[in-house]
Amino acid sequence: QIVDRHETDSNSEGGKMEKKRKKKKICFESAELSKVVEEEQVKKLVKEAWSQRSPYSQGDLELDCQPFPHCIIRNFLSSETFVENLQKELLGLNFHEKSNDLYKFKQSDDLKKRTEPHIAGLRAALFGPFLDISCAKYEHTDILLCHDDELEGRRVAFILYLVPPWQSSDGGTLDLYTTDSNFQPKSILKSLVPSLNTLVLFEVSPVSFHQVSEVLTQDKCRLSLSGWFHGPSLERSPRHIEPPVPRNPHLPRDETLLLEWINPVYLDIAYQEQVQGEFEDSSEIQLKDFLKEEKFREVSEVLRLNQIQWTKRGPPNKRCYEVASLDTLPQCVSACWELLHSEAFFLLLSNFTGLQLHYLCPADDDDDDDDDEDEKEGNQDKEEKEDVKDVQATGSLTETSETTNEKKELSTPVCSAELRRWSHGSYTLLHDGEAARAEYALDLILPFGCADWQSEYGGFTCYVANEEDEEVNIDHMYPEDNCLALVYRDKETLKFVKHVNQKSSSDSTCRAFYDYSFVYYE
């Protein structure tokens, strides 16, 4: 089908285009395609193989259906001079830096309007004026992370590589993923190394997960043309919904824990009020030197020991980083975990933020806290029971705004928590599931081991506003040793952690940093 489409494009549409263009006095070089895509017999066999999901190869053309159907055509344009000139014209275009959770690369001006003879020639001969087509430049540390390309109408994706001699150690491979029973990407089955004048086509479907791996070469440019052939979308089953991350109420620990761990500055009531004022103005605050110096150092050192078992969290279309297995935490690391989980800390956070993270904290209009202590003792038992109930309630996925509001009156504050390790290749992505489930929450991040971490390595947290399908960057939080970051986010705010690139490990040692990541819910 795809090859048919080519033929139609180059024979009829392309032909018409040529005449039209000539009328407008735009001259272009006509592009001749490899013989193999013009042969009727090959077309027929490719079509058959593609629909039966079986492999096929003929000369420069190779069709493979694992992990999903894709086709590689080498020496796609028959004239080397044409390829060279095309490359030159493309490199002469304006490129714009593109960067978000999913990618970092440079994209050219819109190719539809370009009048350079070889660009216009290729467009006319091959793709016609009605297709998405753009030119991308991937240089050192550029990347396009795992995604499926699915968008209304996209049926077949194509990429034409215009690269200098390239090896897999240069990075920038097109990696194709297998999927699990939930149609989630699992592992890379095939990596295609880009090569000059090779065209790759693949079917866009719920399982067509792929990535452009990070470009590792410092001095070569991975230039490519890419786009989609459009057609009716495939039926798809609803997207998989992940089980929610468990949430727990505070642990019953008193203020001695705070005195033991936290820089006394932050326990001063007047200072807490000042922090709260600032937090209420900007919904975020960074508290430097948060832990006592010796505590911070102790935890930093122990985190680097090999005692902790780290487990990779996926799937790759959503995240890639490591989390600590709690039962392997050394004493001081787990004590710090307990601190952030403790009743006393929930109270401290309430003071910092004005949020009600404890039933004892006054609501804005209620400042009667004379008999705190009695109340605390008396309610302890009852509270524990409610906690259990509430965890179950928040564990369910269906939340209309009404039930959330109703629940709020009764709810016990809870938190979810992870101790994470970030190193070359780590990231998190925004994704549909997360957007649907966004809710009011207080994020806490406490980083360790990032003394010489540079922002250009990635690993920073980006907050974006999710406004009518458009994502607007609203904030960056760069990891900083012993600096407690608090961010209050609303239902429209999503976050991701920028891909940690090769610059983080350029001097042959792989750098890593760690953070406690807690999310608190009122």
Ligand X SMILES: *[C@@H]1O[C@H](CO)[C@@H](O)[C@H](O)[C@H]1NC(C)=O
| Chain residues that interact with ligand X, rule: CB under 6 A | 255, 258, 267, 269, 344, 347-348, 351
CB of 253 to ligand X, least distance (A): 11
What is the Cα–Cα distance from 400 to 439, expressed in whole angstroms? Answer: 11
Largest CA distance in the chain: 90
What is the Cα–Cα distance from 401 to 120, expressed in whole angstroms? Answer: 53
Tokens of 64: 């493979």
CB of 258 to ligand X, least distance (A): 6
CB of 222 to ligand X, least distance (A): 53
Tokens of 508: 């042959």
**Which residue's entry shows tokens 């832990």?**
291
Q: Are 436 and 411 in contact (CB under 8 A)?
A: no
**Which residue's entry shows tokens 């709020």?**
408
- What single DSSP character describes residue 316? T
Q: Are 460 and 477 in contact (CB under 8 A)?
A: yes
What is the Cα–Cα distance from 331 to 122, expressed in whole angstroms? Answer: 64
CB of 267 to ligand X, least distance (A): 5
Nearer to ligand X, 329 or 348 (CB): 348
**Which residue's entry shows tokens 């009048």?**
115
Q: CA nearest 382: which of 390, 393, 394, 372?
A: 390
What is the Cα–Cα distance from 384 to 343, expressed in whole angstroms? Answer: 12
Nearer to ligand X, 347 or 445 (CB): 347
CB of 413 to ligand X, least distance (A): 14
Q: Are 422 and 312 in contact (CB under 8 A)?
A: no
Nearer to ligand X, 255 or 471 (CB): 255
Tokens of 359: 């039933």
CB of 353 to ligand X, least distance (A): 11
Paired residues of 441 in beta bridges: 489
Nearer to ligand X, 235 or 370 (CB): 370
Q: Which amino acid would we find at residue 496?
A: F
What is the Cα–Cα distance from 327 to 308, expressed in whole angstroms? Answer: 9
CB of 70 to ligand X, least distance (A): 58
Q: CA nearest 342: which of 263, 246, 251?
A: 251
CB of 158 to ligand X, least distance (A): 60
Nearer to ligand X, 269 or 305 (CB): 269
- What single DSSP character describes residue 466? E
> What residue is closest to ligand X based on CB?
351
Q: DSSP for 114-148? A: ---HHHHHHIIIII-TTSEEEEEEE-TT-EEEEE-
Nearer to ligand X, 370 or 452 (CB): 370
Tokens of 108: 């050219």
Nearer to ligand X, 63 or 347 (CB): 347
Nearer to ligand X, 279 or 310 (CB): 279
Nearer to ligand X, 241 or 259 (CB): 259
CB of 262 to ligand X, least distance (A): 9
No. of helices (H) and no. of strands (E), the chain: 14, 24
Nearer to ligand X, 255 or 387 (CB): 255
